[in-house]
Copies of this chain bind each other. A is one copy, B any other.
């Protein structure tokens, strides 16, 4: 599998982007490190490694930025919940790497590559359960309820994705439903929690949930584009795994929809055959402008996300959320 040398979003850029919540994010980082420990050496080594696997801290950043954009200050509950959503995200990554048999994630060996699948399963479970416990330390049951529900939807989405493996009759609508569940539900709930715990009205919380949802969908479309392009890009993760695992993603769905019967048969041969390589798919994706189409769909979601911010008063935090909607699709360039 291809290995890579630098992150798609430069750390300096992230630092700039996150400057309105720099202190709070640093506190989340401290909490993550403080929570993910064990008095037993083997367990300690493994759970600390889990901490390193997170990357952009997108979900806690969304939660904190939303909190600040709505209520101007970040509370103790926000910091706890931001730690929780990052732990849950990391748990899903660790389990995804078992499923994908990925070797590299964020320039680090995945847990299953460095230890084994068993370690990945158990570490993921540890992270999930620790996150739920942490959410329950708040006085109100609301955090547990929203996080429990969202996480269950994420799992259902992952199961649907598994059920659709090799099913290249999957429609664009079904694809969008699946990525909404498996990816956007967690970014949506991050924004909703940030808003609600800052005293947002139900209407505003709903809009900001929608912001996180649209941004999450755009983000996943961008991620799927990266995987299918499979160029020597600097993504810090194994590429071409969707194709290898026969996951129907938007560019393939689009090309199949437009293709002549002969091209359709040829595409199906590539995606279902034994040599499922991005370079064999590329001519067909080009012929039907499938990458551009997927990119434009992602941009439409990013645009809608941006519009939803109009309910917020101007603030540096709102500006960062707006900037994110611009950056999300440029992951592919």
Contact = CB atoms under 8 A, between A and B. Distances in A.
A129 B145 contact: no
A1 interface: no
B144 A126 contact: no
A36 B43 CA distance: 32
A135 interface: yes
Q: Quick one: which of A41, A121, A154, A156 has the most chain B CB within 10 A? A: A121
A42 B146 CA distance: 25
Contacts of A43: 156, 159-160, 163
Given A42-B160, A123-B159, A152-B126, A144 B117 contact: no
Nearest to A164: B42
B148 A135 contact: yes
A163 B124 contact: no
Contact of A99 (B121, B158, B160): B121
A115 to B, nearest CB: 9
Number of copies: 2
SS class, residues of chain A in contact with chain B: helix
Contacts of A46: 159
Q: Quick one: which of A119, A148, A164 has the most chain B CB within 10 A? A: A148
Contacts of A126: 152, 155-156, 159
A145 B43 CA distance: 22
A162 B117 contact: no
A75 interface: no
B139 A155 contact: no
A133 interface: yes
Interface residues of A, number: 49
A43 B144 CA distance: 24
Contact of A144 (B38, B121, B123, B135): B135
Contacts of A310: none
A151 interface: yes
Contacts of A119: 162
A158 to B, nearest CB: 5
A148 B132 contact: yes
A201 B163 CA distance: 48
A125 interface: yes
A315 interface: no
Contacts of A163: 40-43
Nearest to A141: B141
A99 B118 contact: yes
B118 A98 contact: yes
15 contacts: A47-B159, A95-B125, A99-B118, A99-B121, A122-B162, A125-B158, A126-B159, A128-B129, A129-B148, A129-B154, A130-B155, A132-B151, A137-B145, A144-B144, A144-B148
Given A95-B121, A121-B121, A122-B159, 5 more contacts: A42-B162, A119-B162, A125-B128, A125-B158, A129-B152
State the 4 A-B residue pairs at the shortest beta-carbon distance, nearest first. Answer: A42-B163, A133-B148, A136-B144, A136-B145
Interface of A: 38, 40-43, 46-47, 92, 95, 98-99, 117-119, 121-126, 128-130, 132-141, 144-145, 147-149, 151-152, 154-156, 158-160, 162-164
